[in-house]
Chains A and B, each alone.
Chain A
């Protein structure tokens, strides 16, 4: 079992090396004078697709949006219980199915309350 996780670890190491080497290659090529260096305002700007931003991008957002994170966090904790149940779904049978239905129902009450109190509206 640990060997499978070892492969995931190897994948992480390859990802880190690849993403490190990608910015390093052009820097090295420029020091070796293979790539000519003609900096300009357009070349130096950060590449971004879409429309150019107006004003600062580091603006303060409305506190209202914090509810999304709070409700998301609570539902995410519910997933912690659903995950082992989903792994053993066939062996556990009908009893656990109704138990999980009750579990989801209890948490959905909170979600519906958030909905009715209009905290999930994007204004």
Chain B
């Protein structure tokens, strides 16, 4: 009962925030609306017993991606004009509506299999064992660190002024 109420509150807020991202003229307000959308998605992860994923969502999306987007807004030329409408409005709406229709069809037409086992709660502790214990996936973790390193170096090399 409480879970269903929480789910519906977060689902409605997530959809409203997503619509706000599209319809708000002020780019900065749209970015804040996107942050609200990220937070509600984290809440939805919690209702699905994925607490580590929710923490990552808050940490990376609400914490870092939003900072990246707001810094991009800071660097936008003539940001006061907001997001003006252009002639691609109607084609973009049609493409978005088709994608939405396909996704709704796929989600409703798929027969979702429900596992008989109860979900792990909390998930962070078993995940730590899987990643960092001696029999765990320590090599893939280090490879992920190499990926982060490559991302930093690549971003600096590509974006640095000559």
Q: List the interface of chain A (C-beta within 8 A of B).
A: 1-2, 5-6, 9, 56, 58, 60-74, 76-81, 83-85, 87-88, 91-92, 95-96, 99-100, 102-103, 106-107, 109-111, 113-114, 117, 119
Taking a contact as CB atoms under 8 Å apart, the answer to whether A1 and B122 are in contact is yes
Q: List the interface of chain B (C-beta within 8 A of A).
A: 2-3, 6, 43, 46-47, 49, 51-52, 55-56, 59-60, 63-65, 67-68, 71-72, 74-80, 121-122, 124-125, 127-129, 131-134, 138, 141-142, 144-146, 148-149, 151-153, 155-156, 159-161
Taking a contact as CB atoms under 8 Å apart, the answer to whether A67 and B148 are in contact is no
Inter-chain contacts of B80 with A (CB < 8 A): 56, 58
Inter-chain contacts of A91 with B (CB < 8 A): 129
Taking a contact as CB atoms under 8 Å apart, the answer to whether A72 and B55 are in contact is no
Q: Which of B67, B74, B124, B161 is A84 in contact with, Cβ under 8 Å?
A: B124
Query: A65-B71, A71-B152 are known contacts; what are 20 more A-B pairs with Cβ within 8 Å?
Result: A9-B43, A61-B75, A63-B161, A66-B72, A68-B71, A69-B68, A69-B72, A74-B151, A76-B63, A78-B148, A81-B145, A83-B124, A84-B131, A85-B128, A85-B132, A95-B133, A102-B142, A107-B148, A110-B152, A114-B156
Q: Give the total number of A-B pairs whose CB atoms are below 8 A apart.
A: 153
A117 to B146: give the CA distance in the assembly, Å.
Answer: 19
Taking a contact as CB atoms under 8 Å apart, the answer to whether B67 and A72 are in contact is yes
Contact A95 to B71, CB < 8 A, known contacts A83-B59, A88-B125: no
Taking a contact as CB atoms under 8 Å apart, the answer to whether B145 and A78 are in contact is yes
Q: Which of B60, B67, B128 is A88 in contact with, Cβ under 8 Å?
A: B128
Q: 5 closest Cβ contacts across the A-B interface?
A: A110-B152, A88-B128, A84-B128, A96-B132, A76-B64
Taking a contact as CB atoms under 8 Å apart, the answer to whether A107 and B145 are in contact is yes
Inter-chain contacts of B134 with A (CB < 8 A): 95
Nearest A-chain residue to B122, judged by Cβ: A1
A67 to B55: give the CA distance in the assembly, Å.
Answer: 25
Q: Which of B132, B149, B152 is A92 in contact with, Cβ under 8 Å?
A: B132
Taking a contact as CB atoms under 8 Å apart, the answer to whether B132 and A5 are in contact is no
Q: Pull 23 A–B residue pairs with CB atoms less than 8 Å apart, ordered by A.
A: A2-B3, A6-B2, A61-B75, A65-B74, A69-B64, A69-B67, A73-B64, A74-B155, A76-B60, A77-B64, A78-B145, A79-B59, A83-B124, A88-B129, A95-B134, A99-B142, A102-B142, A103-B142, A106-B149, A109-B149, A113-B152, A117-B156, A119-B156
